[in-house]
Structures are given as C-alpha cells and as structure tokens.
Amino acid sequence: MSEESFDVVVAGCGVAGLSAAASAAEKGGRVALLERAPVRERGGQSRYTEAYLRMKSLSEVSDDVIAHLAQNGSGAIDPDLVMEADRPRETRAPYARALSLADPEVIEALAEGAGPTVAWLTGLGVKFDFLPTQFLTRSQPRLLPIGGGLALVEAMAARAEKLGVRFFYETTAQRLLLDEDGGVVGLAARRGGRRILFKGKAVLACGGFEGNAEMQTRYIGPRSVYLRPICKGGHFNKGEGIEMALEAGAAPCGDFGSYHAEPIDPRSGVSEPSVFIFPYGILVNKDGERFTDEAPGTVDAVYEGITRQIFAQKEGVAYAVLDQKHLAIPNYRLAIRTDQPPILADTAFELASRLGVPGEALAATIARFNGACGKGAFRPLELDGLATRGLAPQKSNWAVPLDEPPFHAYPIISSNVLTFGGVKIDARARVLDRDGVPIPNLYAAGEVVGLYWGTYTGASSVLKGLVFGRKAGLDAMRAA
C-alpha cells in the first residue's frame, strides 16, 4: 500500500470532476484526479452527451429553471417544513437543516453560477451556440457547447494538465479516510490490484449508479432489468461516491427510486439512440394497445413522463407506429438518433407480425385511432390542438390518421440517463451530514449530488456538474 499527499483529491473525470480539479489548480492547489476509466475513455457519460444547457443566453439560465427545480424538488413533505427550508440555513429549525429536498439556496446558487461558469469555459476555448436539437418542438431554449460534452472534457482536462493536476487513470475511489472527529483527510483507492491512500480534501464527482445493477434493483426496483444506461460511459458509474459519503454520515437527498428517462431504440448500440418522433404517430405495447397520450405538449417537456409509461409496459417496451406522412415533417431526422432502420410494412397485420404483437389487436387499435381523428390543419412544428375525439387515452396534438402506407415502426425502451438519489450539499458544494452540518473537507458535485424528484429538469445535469464542481474546487482551496 502506497500513500500520496495533495491539497485536493477529486474522484471522477467527468465535467463535474474536471471542473473541480481545474478550478482548484488555478488557485495553486496540488490536485489529484482519480478516474476509473482508461485515458481513452475518460469522462464517463460526459464525453458522450451533447451537453444541453438550460440557458437563454451565455449569462442567464432559462426563465423556468428555478421554478421547475423547486416544483420537483421533494416528495410528500409537510408544507411548513418547505417554508422552514426557505429560511437562511443558520436560522432554520434543527429538524429542517438536513431535509431531503432541493435546498432553495442550492437552486439559487446553480442559477447564479451558470453564467460565470460558461464565461470561464469560454476562456478555456469552448464555444457555445443555440444549435438545432433533437426536439422538433420545445418550450425552453438549449445552449450547447460546440463539440458537445467531449469538448468540455477535453478543454478542462487540457487546463488541468497544464496546471500540473496528476491524473490517475484506471483508479477507483473506494472509501473516505476520516480523522477522529469525522472530518475527511483523504480517499482510499484501488489501482491494478494495489491499494493507494490519497491524502487531502476530497471532492466526490464520480457519477450515480446507473452502472450498478444491485443499487438499481435496491432503489429503483426489480423492473430495472429493463433499463440500460444511455451510453457506454454510464457503465463506469457504480455509485461508490454516494455510498462512501452516506457511510461517512452524509445526508441523503434526491429521489433514490427514480432516474432520468429517455426513449431509445433497444436495437442500437450507439450513444443515445433516442427516438423522439413518436408524437407524430401512436405508441402501442406488446398487446398492440395504446396506453398514453403521445402528444400532450412539446416533446422536450413531456418525453420523460411518456418514457416512464413505456417502462411500465410489459417487458418495458413499446412501439412507435407512424405512416408515410411523418417523412414530410421538416428536419424529421433530427428526432431519430438511432442508427437502425424503421420496421416497414404495408398493412397493420404485416406490421404486427414483424413486431411480434397480436395482429387483430393492432389493426383494431389503428382503426379506432383513425376513426377518432378530427379535421384541421396539421402543424407539426407547433402545438396544433389537433386532438382525437371520444378515444381513451386521448391524443392531444398532431392526431392525424395513419392511412398512408407503408407503416414505419421503432421499438422504444427507457434508458437510464442519470439517477436522482445522492447526497445533500450546501451552496458551496460542501457535503452536509444528517444534522445539516458540513462534513469537514468533503465536497460533492455532479450526479453524486441529489437534486431531482420524479421529473428531471431538462438540460440541467451538465450545468449542475459544472457549476458545483467549480464551486467545490474553489472552496476547497479557499478553506486551505
């Protein structure tokens, strides 16, 4: 067993960990960065994501960010406690200092820190723009780094390397090292069968648990066998950062039984093979039946709830069924990221045979849907109010008959983009214990931090990792 000493030890080389490491190094810190992956795959999920940022400009978050996070920031909780949590931390009642809810101060810190963080990244050479997204209809703008998450990873890694951060690849953080008072003095890790002790303040930024079948089953439930990570980088996320923090007394936060759901094609092995074209057709399950309103709103605002309903179907799968008309939608290919072709058929019975669903049921489902479609102008790039009549479940928009063969179908399952459960932090990214007191020398950022319940605030996770990673690195050196 060997020992290394640093000012700051960061676990995880995604956007959160790199943000922390580079920021600490900019303040003169001696920094170690531990990464389970080999160097060619560093960055975990961050290197694969397009890294949408819920921002309306380079300096401001979108108008609904604070409200959306607050509205989806807890489970069933006493409203008096919600009001208590809105008071300054030092004046809160003791029982409200470590509540498992999204702390208002943390939400505000995220919103206020977004602009300065983007400015910092711009200074590192990252370029941003409002580029086309996979959402043909959307309710909020998305700012994107040109080159996606990989551009963020490479820019921050280059900055960290230039400042002397030591990278330890194929090295897995396993346990926090504590002093007699419960403060953190470092991390125990394993590399190539050898144990290494890394002394220093610790920043946990090593992801959630979408790559850990046991934790998924424990928290999300046995149906998690129908889930898979959104990209191959998710398999590096085993949940150790969350587990070691909880073992050290950290307060839990976020919805441990839930995750961010995105609809993907299970036939594909590419990163994020999403299928967002379903609002222009119908969704049927293994029994050939519709089970949800496919288009209650803009796709960016409703896809997660619909994907959760797909997850609840038999074998966790559904099929998007469309006809030839969707090919005339402007830029329709943006909504189909899978590399697999659609399943084509000229009749409902032929399609049912190829999907493995009952032919009579699928034919009847399509006929009922076609008969319930009204008349009106089909406007695919806006909510057109073209709804079905007398059909349960209703389809609220873009309800036009499926009557122009051939049929096109895509299988869809729910991916696990990120898990919601994690640890509680304050506005400085310090991990709080179960009395709401900061654990000395322990910070967290990214998916290790719990913030969401039930519904994900779209395009906020990369922003959360960047903002609180930077806060963690700067605060660790400030404390030093």
Q: What is the pLDDT of residue 339?
A: 98
Say which residues have a Cβ less than 8 Å from residue 360's Cβ, sequence separation at least 6. Answer: 288
- Nearest CA to 132 out of 148, 121, 114, 144 is that of 144
Within the chain, all domains assigned CATH 3.50.50.60 are found at: 2-258+420-479
Domain 262-415 in CATH 3.90.700.10? The answer is yes
For 252-285, how does the pLDDT look when each residue is reduced to its tens digit (9 = 90+)? Answer: 999 999 999 999 999 999 999 999 999 999 999 9
Q: Are strands 422-423 and 171-178 parallel, antiparallel or unpaired?
A: unpaired
50: its two tokens: 């397009």
For 418-437, how does the pLDDT look when each residue is reduced to its tens digit (9 = 90+)? Answer: 999 999 999 999 999 999 99
Say which residues have a Cβ less than 8 Å from residue 354's Cβ, sequence separation at least 6. Answer: 343, 345, 409
Distance CA 8, CA 386 (A): 57
Q: What is the pLDDT of residue 90?
A: 85
For 147-161, how does the pLDDT look when each residue is reduced to its tens digit (9 = 90+)? Answer: 999 999 999 999 999
Q: What is the pLDDT of residue 85?
A: 86
Looking at this protein, which amino acid is placed at residue 115?
G
- Nearest CA to 275 out of 362, 339, 325 is that of 339
Q: What is the pLDDT of residue 45?
A: 93
Q: What is the pLDDT of residue 132?
A: 86
Domain 2-258+420-479 in CATH 3.50.50.60? The answer is yes
Say which residues have a Cβ less than 8 Å from residue 378's Cβ, sequence separation at least 6. Answer: 325, 384, 386, 398, 400
Q: Backbone phi, then psi, for 235, in 5-degree steps?
A: -70, -15
Within the chain, all domains assigned CATH 3.90.700.10 are found at: 262-415
The ranges of the chain with pLDDT < 70 are 480
284: its two tokens: 């049927």
